[in-house]
Amino acid sequence: MVKECRKGGLVPKLVRFPEAASLGIHAAVLLASQCNGLASTHELAERLNASEAHLAKVMQRLVRAGIVHSTRGPKGGFALARSATEITLLEVYEAVEGAVEPAGCVFGTPVCGRKTCVFRGVTEELDARLRSYLASATLADLAQEEETAHGGAPDHQD
């Protein structure tokens, strides 16, 4: 059984990841929390309160990137292809979304009409720090944070 995620998830409100990247990271962290066994798309989608079809597409991207492996059949599912300590959040993000791009205008559209945004320095610093965090944090780190936040060991499959 995979541990259920609480609403609010792993990403704070200030940083908005695309839905597919968020699903990929959450699913990979759930897989990292398992001691053994496989988790099906159906089971992961239920735990993440997500569309099974959308999650299946995300999981296939993670398979193609060598982050997870899949086993077909009635007892099939997904498991991490490598140790959770070896897989960074940046690797998962880029497997799903491609390269991390600078955020650009903090308002979503250039509202100031200026060639250079007054927030440029701030957004460049935030982009650099986010990229650095994603490159250094592993699935094991987030799985441990989730375990600590929810009190107790993750659910195990027997």
Mean of the per-residue pLDDT values of the chain? 83
Q: To 5 degrees, how large is the angle CA 58–CA 155–CA 71?
A: 40
- Indicate if the pLDDT at residue 14 is higher than 60: no
| Structure tokens given for 130 | 């986010």
User: Per residue in 67-118, pLDDT tens?
Assistant: 999 999 988 999 999 999 999 999 999 999 998 876 666 666 655 666 677 7
- Look at the chain and count its residues: 158
pTM of the model: 0.79
- Give me the domains of the chain, ranges plus CATH numbers: 19-99+138-150 (1.10.10.10)
Report the alpha-carbon distance of residue 57 to residue 39 in Å, rounded.
15
